[in-house]
Structure 1
Amino acid sequence: MATFTIFMMAAGLMADVTSERGKGTLQRQLTAPIRTSTLVAGKMGAVFVFGVGEVFVIALLGGLLLRARAPIVPFVLLSLSFVVATTGLLSAVYGLVRREKQASELSSVIVMFSAIVGGAWLPLSSLPAPVRALAPVSVNYWAIKGYHALLFEGAGVGGILPSVIILGVAGVVLALLGSVLLGRSLRRGL
C-alpha cells in the first residue's frame, strides 16, 4: 500500500501542471526570465522531493509502529530509484495530455493498473496468471519486490539490484521523455 500511496500523491502533485494551465498561472510563470526547461525541472524536482519526503515519513512510521527494519543503503537506493521512476512516468503522462480531465483520468488509470498488477493491494500469488504476467511492466511490482526482499528476506544491495536498475533506468528514460513532452507542451501553452 505504501507504494500506491507514494504513486498517488505524486500524481496529485504533478496534476498542478494541468491545473495551472487551465487557470492561466502557467502562462504567467512562462513570462518570467527563466527557460522553459528550468520550469519543467522545477516541477519535476518538486514531485521528486515530495516523493522522497513521503518515503521518509512512511519509513519512519513503519519503523516506529511496525518495528520494520531494513539496511539503510539498500533501502535508500531502492527508494530513490522508485521515486525517480514514479516522477519520470508521471511527467511523461502529464506531458502527453492537454486537458486537466484527461490528465486526471489517464494518471488514475495508470496508478490503479500499476497498483493492481504490481501487487500493491493483493499478493501477486492471489492474482490470475494473466494478471501476474503483466506485473513486470508495473513500477509498483519492482518496488514491492525490492522492499519485500529487504524487509522479509534480509537482502542487501545485491538482492535488490535488479529492482534498482530497472526502476532507475526506466525512471531516467521516462524523466527525459517527460521533460521533452512537458517542455513542448509548456512552450505551446497547452
Structure 2
Amino acid sequence: MPRESAARLWVLIRHNVLLMAREPGPVLSRMILPLAFVTLLRPLYTAGQGESTGTEQAVVGTLVTFSLLALGICGGAILTERLGRTWDRLRGTALHPAELLLGKAVPAFAVLLAQQVLIVGFAVCAFGLRVPHLLLLSAVLLSWSCTLLGLGTLLGVLVRSLGALSAAYDIGGMLLSSVGGALVPLAALPAWVAAVAPVSPGYWAAHGMRAALAGDAYAVAESCGTLLGVALVCGTVASVRLRGRGGRLVAL
C-alpha cells in the first residue's frame, strides 16, 4: 500500500474510532446483552442435551445471533455519514472507495471480533466451555467477522434510512440465525428448514464453530471458505456501488 494511501486510511480509522467512542451505547449493549442471554439460555440446553453439548449450543447460538444483530454497528457507521451528507464530501476527495470502506470497516471489525472473544471467554471462565482447538476456532471467528463486516457494509450502502437499517438487521439477523440452526438444532426443526439452512451465512458460522470445538479441520476449512466468499461478494458489491451514485441519498 502506498504511503499516502496508508496515511489517509489511518486518519479515517482514527476518526471513526473517535466517533464510535463518543456514542458507546450500541457497542456496550452488544457486549453486555449476550452474556446475560447465554447465562439464561444455558440451563434450557443443558437440561435436554447434557452439560457439555448444552453449553456449546448456548454459546454458539448466542454468538451467532448477537453478532448478526451487531450488523447495525457496521451499517450505521456508513449510513450516518450518508444522512449527514458528509459521505458525499468524502467521496469528493482523493479517497478511493475501498479506503472509505476500510476506514469504517477496521473499527467495526475490531468491535465484532471483541464481542465474539468476550462471549467465548465468558463461557470458558463461567461455564467451563472447553476450547481444545483454539486455532481452528480463531479461524472461524475471523472469517465470520469478515462476513458480518461485508453484510453490514452492504446494508449501510443500500438502505436509505435508519429505520430501514434497523428493520434489516433485526429481522434479517433473527431469520439468518434461526434458519441457520444457531438457536435451535436443525434436527429439531422441520425438514424444509434443514434443506434451506446452507443458504444462511449463520448456518456456516454455527457449523464452523461446532466443528472447531470438535477439532474437525475439514469442516472448519469448508465453513471459513464459504464465509470469506460471502464477505468478498458483499464487499465487492458495496465498493462498486460507491463508485457511482449508489452511495448518495437524493431527496425525492
Give the 3-state SS of the residue equivalent to 2:70 in structure 1: helix
Counterpart contact for 2:109–2:149, Cα < 8 Å: yes
Query: In the alignment, is residue 131 of structure 1 matched against residue 193 of structure 2?
Result: yes
* Closer/same/farther in 2, CA of residues 116 and 184 from structure 1, 3 Å limit: farther
* 1:104 Cα deviation after fit: 2.1
What is the one-letter code of the residue matched to 2:226?
I
Deviation at 1:114, TM superposition (A): 0.3
Q: Give runs of aligned pairs for residues 18-29 of structure 1, distance below 5 A.
A: 18-27=79-88, 29=90
SS in 2 for 1:65: helix
| Structure index of larger Rg | 2
- Deviation of the 1:137 alpha carbon: 1.0
Asked if 1:44 corresponds to 2:105, the answer is yes
C-alpha change, 1:35 and 1:160, in structure 2 (3 Å) is closer
Structure 1 residue 37: Cα displacement: 3.2
Work out the CA distance in 2 between the residues paired with 1:125 and 1:89. Answer: 27
Q: 1:88 to 1:13 in 2, by over 3 A?
A: closer
- Counterpart among 229, 232, 236 of residue 172 in structure 1: 232
Q: Show the counterpart of 1:157.
A: 217
Answer yes or no: is the 8 Å Cα contact 1:14–1:91 preserved in 2.
yes
Within a 5 Å distance, the mapping from 1:40-189 to structure 2 comes to 40-70=101-131, 71-151=133-213, 154-182=214-242, 184=244, 188-189=248-249
Question: Contact 1:10 / 1:47 at 8 angstroms: preserved in 2?
Answer: no
TM-score between both structures, scaled by the size of structure 1: 0.85
Q: Supply the RMSD in Å over aligned alpha carbons.
A: 2.3
The aligned amino acid for 1:169 is G
Question: Kindly, what percent of the aligned residue pairs are identical?
Answer: 25
Deviation at 1:65, TM superposition (A): 1.2
Structure 1: any 5+ residue segments left out of the alignment? none
Question: Whose RCO is larger (CA < 8 A, sep 6+)?
Answer: 1
Aligned residues: 188
Counterpart residue number, 2:25: none
2:177 and 2:80 mapped to 1: Cα distance?
25
C-alpha displacement of 1:142? 0.7
Moved more, 179-188 or 105-114: 179-188
**Residue deviations 1:55-102, cap 9 Å, x none?**
221121121112222212111111111111111122222222222222
Alpha-carbon distance, 1:163 to partner: 0.8
Normalised TM-score (structure 2) = 0.66
Cα 1:183–1:108 change in 2 (3 A) is: farther
Q: Deviations over 1:31-65 (max 9, x none)?
A: 66634432222112222221111122112112111
Question: C-alpha distance in 1, partners of 2:140/2:67?
Answer: 14
Q: Which runs of 5+ in 2 are unaligned?
A: 1-61
Distance 1:7 1:182, change over 3 A: farther
> CA contact under 8 A between 2:160 and 2:249: conserved in structure 1?
no
Using a 3 Å threshold, how does the CA distance of structure 1 residues 112 and 184 change in structure 2: closer, same or farther? farther
Q: In 2, Cα distance between the equivalents of 1:177 and 1:184?
A: 12
